Amino acid sequence: MQTCPPAATPEATADRHRNGLLRRLGSFGWAGSLGLLLLLFWLVAALAGPWLLPRHLVDLQASVVYGPINATHWLGTDYLGRDMLVRVVQGARYTVGVALVATLLASATGTVLALLAAASGTVVDSVLSRLLDTLTSIPSKMFALVLVAGFGSSVGMLVFTAALIYVPGAYRIARSLAININELDYVTVARARGEGTLYIMLREILPNILGPMLADLGLRFVYVVLLLASMSFLGLGIQPPAADWGSLVRENIGALPDAGASVIAPALAIASLTIAVNLVIDNLPGRSARSRGRC
């Protein structure tokens, strides 16, 4: 008589999940782990940084203009005497937050349009591809400057502009993957048994392109961060009294010879964020295993 194996206890299940998580973290390697730590640091700074800083520094109205690094001001002060550590941490909310929302919108929109193009047929595919090719032909920074100069540089407008610029790139990547998946036998079988376009998109194609699109999401996030930083440096990004890291570089650029920390600190923040994302992407568990020839 066949007997069923004993059910796993909650403790055993928790241990199994914990061991699986530790294996995944260990497979990142030292470079991927360093990138993950940096990325988590900036995410925490964006979400809760202002509440973790000392209140006397956050509430400080004015100090020595372009003050040096000391025990009170770890990164010196800016052109109005405000603490640069506070400004960098507060700027993380705009740099990381705006870029993350814009990237998610761009990738989600591009992926949905690519799934629709792949599953619907030649006519829809041709129309969507030609429309998005038109957007691709316009230089991204010029397009962003025209939109923001014409409609204002509010946070919502910056999110919309960055998302619109990077939708075509996400669409092209997702479409190239979805077209190949759409020709496979199990998709043909699903159509033969009468499944609709929405089912084909969400159940047959999307799960098989999700991994590459998540990697593309990270790269696109880097592009959006650099785009928004460059716009802020030109004065068309986040407007005072708020500031992102690009704005902090622009505000204090004149003090580079005498108070370089006020310029170098936000520039290093931009560099560390982009490098961290690239390290995480390059050391994803599946990707690193394939590069070593194990799968």
The pLDDT tens digits of the residues spanning 164-199 come to: 999 999 999 999 999 998 888 888 888 888 888 888
Backbone angles phi, psi at 77, to 5 degrees: -125, 165
More confident residue, 45 or 53: 45
Tens digit of pLDDT for each residue in 271-291? 999 999 998 888 876 554 444
Mean pLDDT value across residues 96-103 = 93
Mean pLDDT value across residues 12-38 = 66
Q: What is the CATH number of the domain that holds 146?
A: 1.10.3720.10
Number of Cβ within 10 Å of residue 128's Cβ equals 18
Backbone angles phi, psi at 257, to 5 degrees: -70, -35
Mean pLDDT value across residues 83-93 = 90
Q: Identify the band that residue 293 occupies on the pLDDT scale cut at 50, 70 and 90.
A: very low
Checking if the pLDDT of 54 tops 60, the result is yes
What does the pLDDT read at residue 25?
54
CA 224 to chain centre: 7
Cα 276–Cα 278–Cα 279 angle in degrees, nearest 5: 65
* Matching residue, tokens 């098989």: 208
* Matching residue, tokens 């785009």: 227
Checking if the pLDDT of 110 tops 90, the result is yes
Total of domains in the chain: 1
What does the pLDDT read at residue 98?
92
C-alpha 226/C-alpha 208 separation (Å) is: 30
Q: Identify the band that residue 18 occupies on the pLDDT scale cut at 50, 70 and 90.
A: low
Q: Identify the band that residue 202 occupies on the pLDDT scale cut at 50, 70 and 90.
A: confident
Note whether residue 25 is domain-resident: no
Comparing 70-79, 129-138, 241-250, the range with the smallest average pLDDT is: 70-79
Note whether residue 73 is domain-resident: yes
Note whether residue 294 is domain-resident: no
DSSP string, 219-259: HHHHHHHHHHHHHHHTT-SSPTTS--HHHHHHHHGGGTTT-
Q: Identify the band that residue 12 occupies on the pLDDT scale cut at 50, 70 and 90.
A: low
Which pTM was predicted?
0.82
Note whether residue 216 is domain-resident: yes
More confident residue, 283 or 130: 130
Note whether residue 182 is domain-resident: yes
What does the pLDDT read at residue 290?
46
CA 108 to chain centre: 12
Q: Identify the band that residue 161 occupies on the pLDDT scale cut at 50, 70 and 90.
A: very high
- Where is 46: in which H helix or E strand? helix 29-52
Mean pLDDT over each residue of the chain, to the nearest integer: 83
Note whether residue 11 is domain-resident: no
Domain range for 67: 45-285
Note whether residue 27 is domain-resident: no
